[in-house]
């Protein structure tokens, strides 16, 4: 039963009225079905509950409306939104499919459906839903942005470029379209065009900090002094959101690093991370407990009890490790081989593990859910992964799943896909850690915004990789970034030999390979091998004492010329 909200004061009544106005003020082309223009009072109450941080109360209202009118599409759409906030994307998709099946012209639902299908990795479906949206609302910029986003994530960069461009014809100041267009141009190597688009965005939207950040993130771009002055003055603008200031600080840090002013660069990196850490949720103690559980579950005895039971498909090559450790370089080398297909940072393995939790009666999380895999055998789980990743492939014998965070699943991969290859991308602990600290990630790396947490995370990563080498010896190939830079030919042959692939000269000319690259290293891997990123941490040694102290157990085992002075002198 949903209680009626009883506004006792005028300001509460005003809030309710604003919520009603939000319900009524549909954007152009939203096409809410006529029969859904009911229950406005209830929908306004739900909207206010959401604004006040009570989504569960809003959910109760949506369910109440659907009990009274099971065909209320707007209630279905809004309930799907609540489900999505709890990562229940399957439930959200079902609700939205119901909404559009009964109201095919409900463009808002098609928009949400495309976004949810992207979360689920259903890329062809997401593109199809966005195409339906464009057909319903051809004059609305947001429709083309939705289509471009779906095409981008479906690895269709040229089509995405076309759709973002169409957005700007109907909505010439659309900031998201400028950013998306520039990003797609960058991924396909059209850097000069990307720079031009970013500059157009800044001209049209002078306070668009994302374009400054994206320009700096090219790593090969330098700002004019006047532009740096403008960015620094923007930081004093109190009307800017925190995220905008985070982006500006990161951009300024990268700019001053390029100018070799490392003290000022660190100042801005530190300021960026202190602000951004406040918006991230990360529990280092919880992460250590998580690693402990993985080591406990995936013991030597566990592997002995589950031998010869996986799927024997040999097509996957997984590149794992930590961010900023050379994984994109390894992927580009392998993707230059005629028998290997590059993809991008795939989330399918993590999503599959999550889906196994839902199948278990106990509802346990990874890694405990591996003790009870329900009706599925290890071979079936391996087959499920192969099926999920088939959408990225075009018939080439091998494909790369490059997601550094998958290092936690190495043991699981040995069980479900024993013939899959796993390459662990490694780099000097300080270069890897500080490289992450100065990188503003789009999502998924909440441990990278504090030097102490970064150091602790690296220690846990190394502890788990040591465990994998102990319980599944010889199964994982460690590849050190520094060794690839020092002797590319030897390391390329070593990588190909481990993967069972014949040597091909194209792998040495990886920078000539024509493919889209979405990561922060996109411009670097389009250049021949270079050594300027080796020992970059030394430029920041005076500022990273805490990180050095935490990583000391690993640093003392390195050659003396790779150790910080504080350790060499001890």
* Structural domains of the chain in order of their starting residue, each with its CATH number: 207-279 (no CATH), 284-533 (3.40.50.300)
* Residue 318 near residue 422, CB atoms below 8 Å: yes
Q: Is 27 helix (H, G, I), strand (E, B) or coil?
A: coil
| Helix then strand then coil, % of the chain, to nearest 5 | 65, 5, 30
pLDDT at residue 496 in the model: 98
Assigned token pair, 162 = 């076309």
Strand-by-strand arrangement of the 340-341 sheet: 340-341, 398-402, 316-321, 421-426, 476-480
For residue 371, what pLDDT is reported? 82
Residue 236 CB contacts under 8 Å (≥ 6 apart), including other chains: none
3-state SS assignment for residue 558 = coil
Residue 26 phi, psi dihedral angles, 5° rounding: -75, 140
The tokens for 570 are 């001890």
Q: Looking at 390-487, list the stretches that DSSP marks H as alpha helix, in order from N- to C-terminal side.
A: 410-416, 429-437, 451-471, 481-486
Query: By CB neighbour count within 10 A (0-12 exposed, 13-18 middle, 19+ buried), where does 528 fall?
Result: exposed
Please, where are the H alpha helices in 259-377? 262-277, 284-297, 300-305, 327-335, 348-359
Backbone angles phi, psi at 227, to 5 degrees: -70, -40
pLDDT at 3: 39
What is the pLDDT at residue 12?
Answer: 46
Do residues 496 and 317 lie in contact, with contact meaning Cβ atoms separated by under 8 Å?
no
pLDDT mean by block of 10 residues, the chain; 570 residues: 41 50 49 61 86 88 92 93 91 96 94 95 94 94 96 93 96 93 92 94 91 90 94 94 96 97 98 94 94 97 90 97 94 96 88 76 79 77 93 92 96 96 98 96 89 97 98 97 96 98 96 63 60 91 97 95 85
Q: What's the rounded Cα separation, in Å, for the pair 73 and 55?
A: 19
Q: What is the pLDDT of residue 354?
A: 82
Q: Are strands 398-402 and 421-426 parallel, antiparallel or unpaired?
A: unpaired
Cis omega (within 30 of 0) for bond into 555: no
Residue 451's DSSP bridge partners are: none
Sign, CA dihedral 162-166-172-176, equals negative
Q: How far is CA 436 from the centre of its chain?
A: 14
Extended beta strands in 275-412, E state: 316-321, 340-341, 398-402
Amino acid 370: pLDDT = 85
Per the CB < 8 A criterion, the answer to whether 234 and 248 are in contact is yes
* Predicted pLDDT of residue 343: 87
Query: pLDDT at position 228, please?
Result: 96
Compute and round to an integer the Cα radius of gyration of the chain.
25
Name beta bridge partners: 423. Answer: 319, 477
Question: How high is the pLDDT of residue 548?
Answer: 97
Do 243 and 212 touch, CB atoms closer than 8 A?
no
Q: Give the pLDDT of residue 219.
A: 80
């Amino acid at each position: 039963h949903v209680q009626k909200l009883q506004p006792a004061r005028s300001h509460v009544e005003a809030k309710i009225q604003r919520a009603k106005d939000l319900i009524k003020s549909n954007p152009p082309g939203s096409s809410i079905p006529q029969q859904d223009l009911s229950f406005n009072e209830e929908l306004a109450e739900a909207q206010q509950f959401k604004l006040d941080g009570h989504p569960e109360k809003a959910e109760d209202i949506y369910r109440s409306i659907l009990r009274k009118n099971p065909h209320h599409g707007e209630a279905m759409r809004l309930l799907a939104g609540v489900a999505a906030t709890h990562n229940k994307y399957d439930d959200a998709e079902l609700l939205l499919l119901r909404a559009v099946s009964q109201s095919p012209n409900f463009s808002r639902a098609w928009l949400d459906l495309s976004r949810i299908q992207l979360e689920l990795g259903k890329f062809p479906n997401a593109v199809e839903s966005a195409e339906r949206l464009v057909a319903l609302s051809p004059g609305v910029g947001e429709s083309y942005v939705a289509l471009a986003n779906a095409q981008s994530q479906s690895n269709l960069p040229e089509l995405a470029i076309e759709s973002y461009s169409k957005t700007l014809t109907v909505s010439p100041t659309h900031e998201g379209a400028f950013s998306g267009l520039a990003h797609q141009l960058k991924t396909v190597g059209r850097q000069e065009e990307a720079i031009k688009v970013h500059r157009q965005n800044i001209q049209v939207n002078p306070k668009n900090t994302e374009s400054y950040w994206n320009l700096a993130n090219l790593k090969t771009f330098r700002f004019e002094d006047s532009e740096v002055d403008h960015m620094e003055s923007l930081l004093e603008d109190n009307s800017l959101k925190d995220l905008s200031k985070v982006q500006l600080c990161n951009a300024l840090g990268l700019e001053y690093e390029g100018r070799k002013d490392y003290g000022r660069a660190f100042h801005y990196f530190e300021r960026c991370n202190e602000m951004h850490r406040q918006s991230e949720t990360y529990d280092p103690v919880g992460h250590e407990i998580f690693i402990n559980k993985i080591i406990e579950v995936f013991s030597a005895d566990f592997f002995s009890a589950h031998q010869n039971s996986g799927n024997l498909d040999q097509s996957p090559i997984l590149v794992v490790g930590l961010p900023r450790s050379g994984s994109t370089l390894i992927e580009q080398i392998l993707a230059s081989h005629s028998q290997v297909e590059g993809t991008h940072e795939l989330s399918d393995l993590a999503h599959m593990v999550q889906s196994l939790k839902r199948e278990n009666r106990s509802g346990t999380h990874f890694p405990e859910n591996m003790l009870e895999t329900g009706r599925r055998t290890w071979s079936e789980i391996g087959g499920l992964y192969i099926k999920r990743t088939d959408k990225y492939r075009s018939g080439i014998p091998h494909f790369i799943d490059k997601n550094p965070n998958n290092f936690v699943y190495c043991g699981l991969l040995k069980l479900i896909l024993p013939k899959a290859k796993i390459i662990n991308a490694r780099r000097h602990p300080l270069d890897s850690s500080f490289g992450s600290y100065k990188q503003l990630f789009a999502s998924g790396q909440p441990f990278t915004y504090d030097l102490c947490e970064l150091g602790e995370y690296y220690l846990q990563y190394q502890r788990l990789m040591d465990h994998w080498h102990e319980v599944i010896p010889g199964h994982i190939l460690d590849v050190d970034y520094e060794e690839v830079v020092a002797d590319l030919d030897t390391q390329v042959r070593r990588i190909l030999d481990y993967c069972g692939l014949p040597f091909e000269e194209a792998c040495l000319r990886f920078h000539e390979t024509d493919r889209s690259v979405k990561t922060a290293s996109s411009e670097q891997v389009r250049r021949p091998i270079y050594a300027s990123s080796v020992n970059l941490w030394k430029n920041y040694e005076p500022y990273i004492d805490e990180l050095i102290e935490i990583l000391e157990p690993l640093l003392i085992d390195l050659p003396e010329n790779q150790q910080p002075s504080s350790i060499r002198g001890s």
